[in-house]
Amino acid sequence: MRFPGRMDRTAPLAAPLDEIAALVERGFVRRLWIWCIDARGGLRRDLQQVDGIPVSPDAGAARALRGVLELVLQDARAVVVVLERAGSAEPTPDDWAWRDAIERAARGAAVPVRGVLLAHGCGVDELAPVR
């Protein structure tokens, strides 16, 4: 049985999401990875990591993340953001709050988000509601 707000682990990840998942492998610490996608849909070589993120995003998280996105996205066409943390594969309310903050930041920076992934103790899954 599927529930809204749960991840769909049955669908394969689309490129370049599968490539990113293979590179990240699993979650160990609290971190955001920001991957830039070029005009051809491939991964750019530059990568931004934000270490030591809080468990739950505070009121200024989307604004701060928007500033980071504006700095790194000069020739990128889209981004993929990975929320990394240790623990269970099951998304927490804090994981969903981070996904919301990422989407708000991208809207504020006028950047398309190609995907939000959750790197957890067992691997990497797309953090997207089941439709």
Q: Tell me how far apart the alpha carbons of residues 122 and 53 are, in angstroms, rounded to a whole number.
A: 20
The pLDDT value recorded for residue 130 is 66
Indicate the pTM of the whole model: 0.84
- Residue 72 near residue 12, CB atoms below 8 Å: no
Q: ∠131-53-75 over CA atoms, to 5°? A: 70
Q: Provide the residue ranges of all domains of the chain, joining segments of one domain with +.
A: 17-126
The pLDDT value recorded for residue 20 is 87
The pLDDT value recorded for residue 112 is 85
The phi and psi torsions of 61 (rounded to 5 degrees) equal -60, -45
The pLDDT value recorded for residue 131 is 57
Mean pLDDT in residue range 48-63: 90
DSSP 8-state secondary structure symbol assigned to residue 7: B
Mean pLDDT in residue range 82-99: 96
Structure-token match 């957890």, residue found:
120
Q: Which CATH number fits domain 17-126: 2.60.40.420, 3.40.140.10, 3.40.50.300, 2.40.50.140?
A: 3.40.140.10
